[in-house]
Amino acid sequence: MRILCLLVTLFLGACAQGVPPLNFSVPNVAPSARKVPAEVKSITVALARTTEQETVFQPGQETLVPIWKAGVEEALNTAAVFRDDSPTKVSVSVKILKIDVPGFGGEMTVTVAALYQVTDRASGNVLYSQRLETQGVVPLGFAFLGLARAREAFNRAVQANIASFVESVATMKTAL
């Protein structure tokens, strides 16, 4: 009986080591050819209020906010979409609307949606507002443990969401 317990513990421990950490750092961000003539003064990320949520958020998902914010900051800094020397100052806000993670499955598909807004700090005018929904898909062959596939699919979904924002904000049409 002790040997069986030891084998189960070792097996489960080996599986748990394959669970990737949450990582919303967008890979392969290239510097933007087009620059938005505005300087970003602040970036905020928040979960949507209960009345705005498109899915019911689970306890603990508020811990995603600082990781999502770090991913947005890094992607915007790497892409250099905004001009730091511009007299126009803006705020970027992200409201997480949807987090849809399957409870189980072979191929894991995670869907996330967020509302991105760029606001002129002087006038209060919203210069850019777009809801972006993306998916991250991880096949069964990625890992035996479903938690590992779900975590990686979640990482991919958020990374794609942030990348979509960086790409689309570079082409926004404003009166700047």
Q: What is the pLDDT of residues 58-108, one digit of tens each?
A: 898 999 999 999 999 999 999 999 999 999 999 999 999 999 887 766 678
User: For residue 65, what are its two tokens?
Assistant: 């906010």
Within a domain: 175: no
Interhelix angle 64-79/146-169, nearest 10 degrees: 40
**Residue 38 belongs to a domain with what CATH number?**
3.30.160
What value does the mean pLDDT of the chain take?
86
The total of structural domains in the chain comes to 1
Amino acid letter, 161: N
CA distances from 167 to 78, 99, 109, 132 (A): 12, 21, 23, 11
pTM of the model: 0.85
The answer to whether position 65 is within a domain reads: yes
Which structural domain, as residue segments, surrounds residue 20? 2-169
174 part of a folded domain = no
Strand-pairing partners, residue 113, are 98, 133
Q: What are phi and psi of 20, to 5 degrees?
A: -70, 150
* DSSP 3-state of 122: coil
Asked, for residue 144, whether it belongs to a domain, the answer is yes
Q: Does residue 62 form part of some domain? A: yes
From 42, 29, 48, select the one nearest 69 (Cα to Cα).
42
The pLDDT value recorded for residue 14 is 44
Does residue 176 lie in a domain region? Answer: no
Residue in 135, 119, 151, 99 with CA at minimum distance from that of residue 36: 119
